[in-house]
């Protein structure tokens, strides 16, 4: 056991306990706890002396003990998919921002786009007694999510489903993709290629449907030869362009299902001596921070990761407070930069 000495010698290396505060203030531990949590009314007098003692000793409650004792830990678990993702990284930042002023702290774990791993993450988070869990997209089944929500508040992004104790925050990928495609059409493009995202992601298929819908409503034919498979990573964008070029099909614009692939596509085009937007127009999706500094700056669909993170965290806070969360998903909008132009030929 660690030495227990050093009662009132101010910060013995951060081990000032609630009990010490109680002693210093001449009250019981329960009273201190009550003041800390606002659990019950206490006399002004005692409150004063307790507050003093807290300040004097530099007491800071121990969240671990708090969690053990059955109370809240003031922490919410966040399952991201990879800790170094440009998109989810921004979302995490939004979560941090919203949680902090409320006194909560996030606990980040990575699921690596793997349902089994995500399950383990949930276990880890639960064992750490988090008060709630935010799941950024992921591969967990709606079923599983619903079940988790029975014992713990859950907020999930990238889906729409309803369940008690669960709030889903979806983004209109379909509409976003339609906007992007329509933008190209309005510029005069008639042959628009599409680089698809990982088919395992629901948002990827939604984006593809948006692309098709825009084509249809413009009376343009959908040519399967003009859609190349991709995996949401830069390299797959590059290979997609190569595949597209190999078909020798004519196209004057490319819509990539995300910015990362658009980057890869830009490089592929460059390698073949094709200029953006002079020869080929290019649109992405997500508006990653980096896209504003791409060459040329990339036109894309704004997918406000930071706002989404913030909203998710706010919904969680509401859930925790017991108030009904009123979340409004942000609407997609196109951000026009310099990667698109009317078709040359």
Partner DNA sequence: TTGTATGCGTTATCAT
Partner DNA sequence: ATGATAACGCATACAA
Residue 184 near DNA by CB under 7 A: no
According to CB under 8 A, which residues from 102 to 141 bind a second copy?
105, 107-110, 123-124, 126-129
* Dihedral sign computed on CA atoms, order 276, 191, 220, 176: negative
Helices (H), 76-130: 86-99, 115-127
Q: Residue 124 binds which entry of a second copy, DNA, none, with Cβ cut-offs from 5 to 8 Å by kind?
A: a second copy
How does DSSP assign 150-211, residue by residue?
A: TTS-EEEES----BTTEEEE---HHHHHHHHHHHHHHTT---EEEE---TTSHHHHHHHHHH
Site for a second copy in 208-267 (CB under 8 A): 234, 238, 263-264, 266-267
Establish if 85 lies at the interface with a second copy (CB under 8 A): yes
105 binds, among DNA, a second copy, none (CB under 5 to 8 A by kind): a second copy
Q: Does 42 bind DNA (CB under 7 A)?
A: yes
Task: Pick one of 6, 10, 11, 40: the residue that binds DNA (CB under 7 A).
Answer: 40
Write out the DSSP string of 202-262.
HHHHHHHHHHHHHHHHTTPPP-GGGEE---SSHHHHHHHHHHHHHTT---SEEEESSHHHH
Q: Which of 8, 10, 19, 321 binds DNA (CB under 7 A)?
A: 19
132 part of the interface to DNA, by CB under 7 A:
no
55 binds DNA (CB under 7 A): no
Count of residues that interact with a second copy, criterion CB under 8 A: 51
Q: Is 62 in the site for DNA (CB under 7 A)?
A: yes
CB 283 within 8 A of CB 276: no
Which range of residues in 27-35, 193-201, 216-224, 289-297 is near a second copy by CB under 8 A?
A: 289-297
Using the rule CB under 8 A, is 18 a contact of a second copy?
A: no
Residue 340, both tokens: 């698109």
Point out which residues pair with 297 in neighbouring strands: none
Number of residues lying near DNA (CB under 7 A): 34
Among 6, 8, 55, 65, binds DNA (CB under 7 A): 65
The H or E element that residue 267 is part of is helix 259-271
- Ramachandran angles phi, psi of 225, nearest 5°: -65, -25
Tokens matching residue 189: 């493009």
Residue 216 sits at the vertex; the CA angle it makes with 345 and 275, to the nearest 5 degrees, is 30
Residue 231's nearest CA partner among 80, 113, 58 is 113
How close are the terminal C-alpha atoms of the chain, in Å? 80
Residue numbers of the site for DNA (CB under 7 A)? Answer: 1-2, 4, 15, 17-19, 26-34, 36-37, 39-43, 45-46, 59, 61-62, 65-66, 68-71
Residue numbers of the site for a second copy (CB under 8 A)? Answer: 1-2, 13-14, 60-65, 67-68, 70, 73, 82-86, 89-90, 92-93, 96, 105, 107-110, 123-124, 126-129, 150-151, 234, 238, 263-264, 266-267, 270, 290, 292-297
């Amino acid at each position: 056991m660690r030495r227990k000495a050093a009662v009132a010698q101010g910060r013995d290396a951060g081990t000032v306990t609630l009990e010490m505060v109680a002693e210093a203030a001449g009250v019981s531990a329960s009273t201190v706890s009550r003041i800390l949590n606002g659990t019950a009314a206490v006399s002004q007098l005692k409150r004063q002396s307790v507050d003093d003692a807290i300040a004097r000793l530099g007491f800071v409650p121990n969240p671990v003990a708090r969690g053990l004792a059955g109370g809240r830990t003031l922490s919410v678990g966040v399952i991201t998919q990879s800790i170094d993702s440009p998109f989810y990284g921004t979302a995490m930042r939004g979560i941090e921002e919203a949680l902090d002023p409320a006194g909560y702290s996030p606990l980040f774990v990575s699921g690596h786009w793997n349902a089994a791993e995500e399950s383990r993450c949930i276990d880890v988070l639960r064992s750490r007694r988090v008060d709630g869990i935010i799941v950024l997209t992921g591969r967990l089944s709606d079923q599983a999510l619903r079940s988790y929500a029975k014992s713990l508040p859950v907020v999930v992004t990238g889906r729409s489903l309803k369940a008690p104790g669960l709030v889903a925050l979806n983004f209109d990928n379909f509409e976003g993709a339609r906007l992007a495609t329509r933008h190209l059409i309005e510029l005069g493009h008639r042959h628009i290629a599409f680089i698809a995202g990982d088919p395992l992601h629901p948002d990827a298929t939604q984006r593809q449907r948006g692309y098709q819908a825009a084509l249809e409503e413009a009376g343009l034919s959908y040519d399967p030869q003009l859609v190349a498979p991709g995996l949401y990573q830069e390299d797959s964008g590059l290979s997609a362009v190569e595949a597209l070029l190999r078909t020798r099909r004519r196209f004057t614009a490319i819509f990539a299902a995300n910015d990362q692939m658009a980057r890869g596509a830009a490089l592929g085009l460059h390698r073949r001596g094709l200029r953006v937007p002079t020869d080929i127009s290019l649109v992405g999706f997500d508006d990653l921070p980096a896209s504003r500094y791409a060459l040329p700056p990339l036109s894309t669909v704004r997918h406000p990761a930071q706002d989404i993170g913030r909203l998710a965290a706010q919904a969680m806070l509401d859930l925790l407070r017991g108030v009904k969360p009123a979340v409004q998903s942000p609407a997609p909008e196109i951000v026009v930069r310099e990667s698109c132009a009317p078709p040359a030929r």
